[in-house]
Amino acid sequence: MLIVTRTIHFCAAHRLYNDSWSESKNRDVFGKCSNEGGHGHNYTIKISVTGPINKQSGMVVNVTSLRDILKREIFDKLDHRDLDKEVEFLKGQISTMENIIVKISKILEEPLNKLGVKIVKLELNESDKNSVTLEL
């Protein structure tokens, strides 16, 4: 299987907080990530896709087309945003890496299928120490 991976970077703010819990429960579970003022991350997402090699182009996917989709669907919606207040597709979700990456996989599924490829793996890093990988 051939896998093509593209990486995007974005900066965003968020807060881990469950409204249905007390302050102290939020503090116990999320620690300082529940602080009222929120905090920021320099996020990285790696999107890996697979598909057959196009005989004419010799490519699995045109990386320019892939770049444009990722910019439109992900980067433009997330970069320099408050993930909890400004991002429509994250409304009502706790903005954990897990919830973010699952939502992103759903958003990208259709446009990437139209390009003739399928997502096999998504990796979201919020720092060089923490990452979540979704394998499909």
Q: Which residues form the interface with Ni ion (CB under 5 A)?
A: 33
Judged by CB, which is closer to Ni ion: 71, or 85?
Answer: 85
In the complex, the smallest distance separating the C-beta of residue 127 from Ni ion, rounded to whole angstroms, is 8
Judged by CB, which is closer to Ni ion: 40, or 109?
Answer: 40
Contact status, residue 121 vs residue 134, Cβ threshold 8 Å? yes
In the complex, the smallest distance separating the C-beta of residue 96 from Ni ion, rounded to whole angstroms, is 8
Judged by CB, which is closer to Ni ion: 29, or 33?
Answer: 33
Catalytic site residues?
A: 33, 80, 126
User: Residue of minimal CB distance from Ni ion?
Assistant: 33
In the complex, the smallest distance separating the C-beta of residue 133 from Ni ion, rounded to whole angstroms, is 17
